[in-house]
């Protein structure tokens, strides 16, 4: 039995599962960072004073129609 070959995996064997876990989190957690929905963007613009109440209500109505 060759103990030299087993020595390498004992030293770096933990690296492969660690890399797989890191890749998993990078792929799946990155997808959860989706862009804000159009309604959320509209809400933020209205809250910051970027658009008037009338414009907010009009655009919000249009978004509700498009989503149905």
Consecutive sets of 10 residues in the chain, 68 residues long: mean pLDDT of each? 54 79 82 68 93 94 82
Q: Are residues 26 and 4 in the same domain?
A: yes
Q: Does residue 39 share a domain with residue 67?
A: yes
The pLDDT of residue 30 is 63
Please state the domain count of the chain: 2
**Cα distances (Å, whole numbers) of residue 5 to 8, 9, 13, 33:** 6, 7, 12, 42
Same domain, 48 and 61: yes
CA distance 19 to 46: 44
pLDDT of residue 49: 94
The confidence score (pLDDT) of residue 25 equals 85
Same structural domain for residues 9 and 24? yes
Indicate whether this model's pTM tops 0.75: no
Q: Which domain holds residue 30?
A: 1-34
Residues 52 and 28 in one domain: no
Whether 56 contacts 41, CB under 8 Å: no
């Amino acid at each position: 039995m060759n103990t030299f070959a087993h020595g390498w995996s004992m030293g770096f064997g933990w690296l492969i599962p660690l890399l797989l876990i890191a890749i998993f989190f990078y792929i799946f957690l990155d997808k959860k960072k989706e862009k804000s929905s159009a309604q959320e963007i509209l809400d933020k613009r209205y809250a910051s004073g970027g658009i008037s109440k009338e414009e907010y209500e009009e655009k919000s109505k249009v978004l509700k129609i498009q989503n149905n």
